[in-house]
Amino acid sequence: MSAAGEIKGITPPDIRLRKGQTPLVCLTAYTTPVARLLDRHCDIVLVGDSVGMVLHGLSSTLGVTLDMMIMHGQAVRRGLEHALMVVDLPFGSYEESPEHAFGNAARVMGETGCSAVKLEGGETIAETIRFLTARGVPVMAHVGLTPQAVNTFGGYRVQGRGADAERIRRDARAVTEAGAFSLVLEKIPEPLARQITADIDIPTIGIGASQACDGQILVSDDMLGLFTSFRPKFVKRYAELGEQAEAAIAAYATDVRNRHFPAVEHLYVNALKAGDFT
């Protein structure tokens, strides 16, 4: 392919310039095949720590390790040419100090080839975001419901209701001023998400937030109907692949037990030659 025909990958500055423009399309991926499916349609592909619940059967994201994120990040990288790849820093990998966060972020970027990392938290993590961005690590921020703080919140509850809205507004301002290039708003009241989107100068990416956000993100397995353990209100199912897959598996099992598979068309019945077994 000539240089003129190469696909230009999206960068963090490109995303920042999309503020107020055509909404950003964002989905999660954890494997190469899914990354290839998403690449031509998405602006951002997030290797989310949701992988712990979606693929590894964990009850929350808290058990996800840095090595797990790197392994899945490497797989996703092989499937992308166009979309911006962002990798979550998992719980415990960035809270200790800005220096600790930088070491882990640098490792993730170096070993996966991602272009940015995502950190959960607002005012409490702003110093770390400032430290990272000053040293060449683009950061996507994440406020509102932050799943790594599920124990602090007492569950996956809507955040920012009533007087608590001011906390979310302060968090959004803090991470913006610290240098984040975009901000995920998760599970907060629609008017609050709309107001924050209007008030800050970086793109907001909603998940259970507002249509007014500068983009939207969902977990791919939720959107495709592959993950069925629970279904948040903010998820729209665009397919029911889990049901289709189970039906296909059941049909295969029936065919095998009844000796209907493999059939003649699946066998090499005319390939036997003298000496094949020597």
Report, as residue numbers or ranges, the catalytic residues.
Answer: 186
HSE toward the beta carbon, residue 187, CA cutoff 13 A = 15
Q: What is the DSSP string of 37-76?
A: HHHTT-SEEEE-TTHHHHTS--SSSTT--HHHHHHHHHHH
* Long-range contacts at 189-196 (CB < 8 A, ≥ 24 apart): 189/158, 189/160, 189/161, 189/165, 192/160, 192/165, 192/168, 193/144, 195/169, 196/168, 196/169, 196/172
Q: How far is residue 19 CA from its own chain's centroid?
A: 20
Which residue bears the tokens 């906390």?
A: 167
